[in-house]
Amino acid sequence: MPEGDTVYRAARLLDRSLSGHTLVTTDFRVPQHATADLSGGTVVETVSRGKHLLTRISHGDDRWTLHTHLKMEGAWRVLGLEQRWPRPAHQARVVLTTATQRAVGFSLGIVELLPTADEESVVGHVGPDLLGPDWDEDEALRRLLTEPDRPVIDALLDQRNLAGIGNMYAAELCFVSGLHPHDPVAAAPDLRRVVRRARQMLELNKERAVQSTTGNLRDRERMWVYRRDRSACRRCGTPVRVTMRGPAERERASYWCPRCQPATTAG
């Protein structure tokens, strides 16, 4: 699933390309909105909220929000009117066309059209956004500490606690903080520092397409432990370990170095 900085960049792309422009045609290729038509409307802005995208459109006297989520395979692309689509047409879920270009949302996990006044119904549960104007470090800490026995990696991934961390950043955060991913939140000696590092990581990567937590942008050198199972730890040379967690339909991998991230609890 895309990380918060990936969604932030998608919002920037849509905002830069569509805001202030009139929609010549709109095509919502999902059953619940197949008959919706916002042609003639003006795109006001697109913003990100954690991993959610909110495209606000003024249409006559009405204000609508297109709520989309990339989930695992989704992507937004902005193309010239005659430009070849980078994915098959059957993967398109939303097509927004202006006089000069076309924004296509492929394989989007969520597509919802709702009055802008009702946005909180779809994103109100989201915690402080690491890249948003609502960022509140103290509130994020408070939410994380409400379940002190929860594995720290799961707490970091819970968008209700703080928004924008995916499995990659969660694994990397645990490594640079010296935390075993399956240890409880309460075992973290300085949780505030973990949260600050999370924001720093996303801030450093939000303007570049190639993500890195090591500072090295070369292939296979960009991450400390994520997807480096059985490779040598960059710090100590111990083989990086990986294990799967969660139910089969939502299974995720945990990556860590047994030496740099020793478990403080049994198991």
- Which residues are registered as beta bridge partners of 243? 254
| Cβ-Cβ contacts under 8 Å for 9 (sequence gap 6 or more) | 206, 207, 209
Cβ atoms of 33 and 230 within 8 Å: the answer is: no
* Rounded Cα distance, 246 and 1, in Å: 15
Give the SS3 label for residue 82: coil
Query: Active-site residue 206, yes or no?
Result: no
Nearest to 174 by CA among 148, 201, 147, 138: 201
Phi, psi of 92 (to 5 degrees): -70, 130
Torsion of CA 185, 189, 195, 200, to 10 degrees: -140
Cβ atoms of 54 and 63 within 8 Å: the answer is: no
* Rounded Cα distance, 169 and 183, in Å: 17
Question: Catalytic: which of 2, 128, 151, 181?
Answer: 2
Query: Active-site residue 88, yes or no?
Result: no
Give the SS3 label for residue 118: helix
Query: Active-site residue 239, yes or no?
Result: no
Strands 62-69, 92-97: pairing is unpaired
Question: Catalytic: which of 150, 234, 252, 258?
Answer: 252
Cβ atoms of 261 and 181 within 8 Å: the answer is: yes
Tokens of 86: 């980078």
Query: Active-site residue 252, yes or no?
Result: yes
Tokens of 210: 């190639």
197: Cα within 13 Å, side-chain hemisphere: 18
Question: Catalytic: which of 9, 51, 206, 228?
Answer: 51
* Catalytic (active-site) positions: 2-3, 51, 252
